[in-house]
Structure 1
């Protein structure tokens, strides 16, 4: 074994050992992430879309179990309690059962723009509010997979992975078998693994075959998702930071696009190239029998620090450039997010690492950003669409 290979192998083993030590501290005494989230009556009522008084009345009438109680008399609900409340009161915030999930790609070619962080936090936000979510990690680096406490190394030899499904050489045709549970009751994940890179090479090889083989190679993810499209409210795709066959599969499968762009000049300039490349590749997909038509495209300014003059100027430039395609609220840079990510968690899974007010500001900011995206998603479901209901009302009056 050469010096270089031996050195890299040694460094890898050392990093793996340290990773396991860190996780043993973070999740101690459990081996896996456990959500110990609790909610007071006001917070619980807000999350399920009812008033505290309405919940108290339902509990008094026996329609709901009473909340748990601490020794000091403080009442609280768990995440499972919220699910039970929604079921008992027939609260379903998502789509109708016969409607399709909205498939959102959190896409940008440039690394370091916060794709995986946005994907993880948005998934947790949706789950907290009662939506059923499937996360598909399409990046061989597997950052999102790791955030959901799945070790990609353990999936290399498994047959039930995204990489195995996407490979044209594979006879694995049941997409459902690649879906794994997470610590969140209403979030499932199709994890990434190192084998996903092999799928990229296999898919690229279909170019030599042309015709139908290329079309199938471009649509494999879309076909897989179609088998579970009615089982979830939202499907989030975390693509690789490059436009190969994996990236084209993501573009072909998505029905909505969320583009994170930090308020930095280089990121802004690279996004110009990204938008142009996306348009070029959609034309390639359509030329190969794979039509693409997104229900919405939105840009979100990520890791924004208003006190930095350069970033404040970039935010104004982004507002002028993207206009209505830019979310009105940027994601503010926060140590809370950094600290949570280092603990393999999102803000929604974490306790405050600093002052409670600092944590709450961070969480309120994320809530505002994700609520804007959620409204775009709801517009894609006829049963939830405000514009659809308004049009139906006008048609009814005219008739």
Structure 2
């Protein structure tokens, strides 16, 4: 074995050992992440869309089980309790059973813009608010997979993976087999694996076959998602940072796009190229019989520090440039997010790392941002769309 190979393998082993030591500290005494999230009566009521008094009344009437209590008498609810409450009170925040999930790609080619962090936090936000979520990690770097406590290298010998499903060497077998459980009861994930890069090469090879082979290669992820499209409210795609066949599969499968752009000049300029490339590749998809029509495209300013003059100026420029396509709320840079992700968590799974007020500001900011995206998602479902109901009302009045 050469010096270079031996050195790289030794470094890999050292990194794996340190990673396991870090996870042992973070998740102890369990090997896997366990959610330890509880809610007081006010927070629980807000999440299910009722008042604390309404929950107390339902409990008194026997429609709900009483909340758990600590030794000091404090009442609390778990994440599972919220699910039971919604079911018992017939609260359905998501779509109707026959409606399709909204498939959102969190997309930008540039690294360091927060794609995986946003995907993880958005998934947790949706789950907290009662939505059923499938996360599909399409990035061979597997950052989102790792944050959901799945080790990509553990899937190397697995046959039921996204990489195997996407490979043109396989048949269109059951996509469900690649779906894994997470610590969140209403979040499932199709993790990234080491074989995903092989699938990219296999898909690229279909170019030599042309015609139907290329068309199937571009649509494999869409076909897989179509097989489970009614089972979830939202499907979140974390794409690779480059536009190869994997990226084209993501674009073909998505029905909405969220584009993270930090308020920095280089990121702003690179996004110009990104959007032009996206448009060109959509034309390529359509030329190969794969029509693409997104219900919404929104830009979110990520990791924003308003106290920095340069970023404040860029925020103004972004508002002037993107206008109605830019979310009203930027994602503020926060040590809380950084500390949480270093512990393989979102802030929705974490306790405050500093002052509680700082943690709450960060959480409130994310809630506001994701609330805007959730409104866009609702507009894709006829049963939830405010604009469609308004239009129907106007039509009835006009009639």
Give the TM-score band, short-chain normalised. Answer: over 0.9
Q: Tell me, yes or no, if the aligned pair for 1:262 and 1:301 is still in contact at 8 Å.
A: yes
3-state SS in 2 of match to 1:104: strand
In structure 2, how many angstroms separate the alpha carbons of the residues matched to 1:397 and 1:316?
41
Cα-to-partner distance string for 1:175-210 (whole Å, 9 max, x where unaligned): 000000000000000000110000000000000000
The 5 Å alignment of 1:168-207 reads: 168-171=168-171, 173-207=173-207
1:215 pairs with 2:223? no
Aligned to 1:259: 259
1:232 pairs with 2:232? yes
3-state SS in 1 of match to 2:192: coil
Aligned to 1:139: 139
In structure 2, how many angstroms separate the alpha carbons of the residues matched to 1:8 and 1:269?
36
Aligned to 1:42: 42
In structure 2, how many angstroms separate the alpha carbons of the residues matched to 1:195 and 1:390?
48
RMSD: 0.6
The 5 Å alignment of 1:377-388 reads: 377-388=377-388
3-state SS in 2 of match to 1:298: strand
The 5 Å alignment of 1:299-318 reads: 299-318=299-318
**Aligned-pair CA distance for 1:383:** 0.4
**Aligned-pair CA distance for 1:170:** 1.5
**Aligned-pair CA distance for 1:172:** 5.7
In structure 2, how many angstroms separate the alpha carbons of the residues matched to 1:4 and 1:255?
45
**Aligned-pair CA distance for 1:398:** 2.6
**Aligned-pair CA distance for 1:332:** 0.4
The 5 Å alignment of 1:332-371 reads: 332-371=332-371
Q: Tell me, yes or no, if the aligned pair for 1:102 and 1:380 is still in contact at 8 Å.
A: yes
In structure 1, how many angstroms separate the alpha carbons of the residues matched to 2:325 and 2:6?
50
Relative to the length of structure 2, the TM-score reads: 0.99
In structure 1, how many angstroms separate the alpha carbons of the residues matched to 2:249 and 2:111?
19
Aligned to 2:94: 94
In structure 1, how many angstroms separate the alpha carbons of the residues matched to 2:320 and 2:397?
39
The 5 Å alignment of 1:44-83 reads: 44-83=44-83
Q: Tell me, yes or no, if the aligned pair for 1:164 and 1:172 is still in contact at 8 Å.
A: no
Relative to the length of structure 1, the TM-score reads: 0.99
Q: Tell me, yes or no, if the aligned pair for 1:33 and 1:149 is still in contact at 8 Å.
A: yes
3-state SS in 2 of match to 1:153: helix
Cα-to-partner distance string for 1:248-292 (whole Å, 9 max, x where unaligned): 000000000000000111100000000000000000000000000
Cα-to-partner distance string for 1:152-187 (whole Å, 9 max, x where unaligned): 000011011000000001236110000000000000
Moved more, 350-359 or 167-176: 167-176
In structure 1, how many angstroms separate the alpha carbons of the residues matched to 2:70 and 2:174?
46
**Aligned-pair CA distance for 1:64:** 0.3
In structure 1, how many angstroms separate the alpha carbons of the residues matched to 2:70 and 2:224?
46
Q: How many residues align?
A: 399
Structure 1, unaligned stretches of length 5 or more? none
In structure 2, how many angstroms separate the alpha carbons of the residues matched to 1:10 and 1:261?
37
Moved more, 168-177 or 30-39: 168-177
Cα-to-partner distance string for 1:48-85 (whole Å, 9 max, x where unaligned): 00000000000000000000111111110000000000
Aligned to 2:6: 6
Aligned to 1:25: 25
In structure 1, how many angstroms separate the alpha carbons of the residues matched to 2:152 and 2:182?
14
